[in-house]
Structure 1
């Protein structure tokens, strides 16, 4: 049991370090390139804000997009693109249309009754759906808030204090046995 608890503690610390390093990297990327979605090794994370892709994706889900060559995009792929209002939208490709030697994409949200009004040019595509985490977006939004950040910091400090106390108790027991 102790080995399991120690493993969980080590795993938690490793995850916190990884998340912290990734967050710093993403923040730096956002500062350097403010008009682009930051990525790590070609993967981008976004939060779903609407139900237009239900039942596959719901509001509050976190999605991981993989950068792709738009030439490889095909019908039924779920892509994220910048619409003409410069907003990111994640919808499914329903058809390809040739126009002036360029392939354009018709898209539609799974829960929508009609296709999107505008055709999507290859340069508008930012990635293809790779994976999604249901409802994780709600937790991330909470962590972005003041209360969430403070709660997160308190939990981390508590874990550190508990670890120090456990180490102190173990050292005390060891020194008592030695004497």
Structure 2
């Protein structure tokens, strides 16, 4: 009886896991395509980390959540910001110094894993978001894969196929159990018939 309960619980758990995986993959693919890049959730943008400049806190290939908008002159030393550098690339580094230059606020930034600060200070106008501290290690590789044509197709199809296969296996197992019960009943019915005949 206990074994049956464990099997039933395991069956529900596998079904739930496959279903959640399917939903997550659909969400990642659709939100990636809709935003033209990284997904966005509840006002937070999910960015893929492409370098190890912020290790060990943020690993290469991680996904980080950043909060866009607000007053970009509000940041202080030790805040982590996402900004556009001179090459028009998004960079997430820590503020190590804040400078007032006339009407402009400028941030000196540095990657935690870098030996020296970044060469050029960052204008507050070039800051696009603040890093919230939320990170999912290595999940960025999945998002990058999801943005490719092959990745989109595979991530949408594979969980669904697995779910269908598991559903088919569950149905087959249920039918097998019914057949086993019917097989066990037949000798009993024959025995009862034989007893009645003798009586």
TM over 0.5: yes
Normalization by structure 1: what TM-score?
A: 0.77
In the alignment, structure 2 segments of 5+ residues that lack a partner are: 1-5, 186-199
1:63 corresponds to 2:54: no
Give the corresponding residue for 2:9: 3
Over the aligned positions, Cα root-mean-square deviation in angstroms equals: 3.0
Give the corresponding residue for 2:114: 112
Quote the Cα distance in structure 2 between the aligned partners of 1:21 and 1:61. 18
Quote the Cα distance in structure 2 between the aligned partners of 1:39 and 1:146. 20
Give the corresponding residue for 1:136: 139
1:167 corresponds to 2:190: no
Quote the Cα distance in structure 1 between the aligned partners of 2:125 and 2:90. 13
User: Paired residue for 2:32, among 26, 33, 38?
Assistant: 26
Report the alpha carbon displacement of residue 133 of structure 1 after superposing the two structures with TM: 1.6
Higher-RCO chain (CA-CA 8 Å, sequence separation at least 6): 2
Quote the Cα distance in structure 1 between the aligned partners of 2:10 and 2:146. 28
Normalization by structure 2: what TM-score?
A: 0.70
Deviations 1:37-60 (A, max 9, x none): 652322122222222112222222
Aligned residue pairs: how many? 174
The question of whether the paired residues in 1 share the 8 Å contact of 2:80 and 2:92 is answered with: yes
Give the corresponding residue for 1:73: 75
Report the alpha carbon displacement of residue 117 of structure 1 after superposing the two structures with TM: 1.9
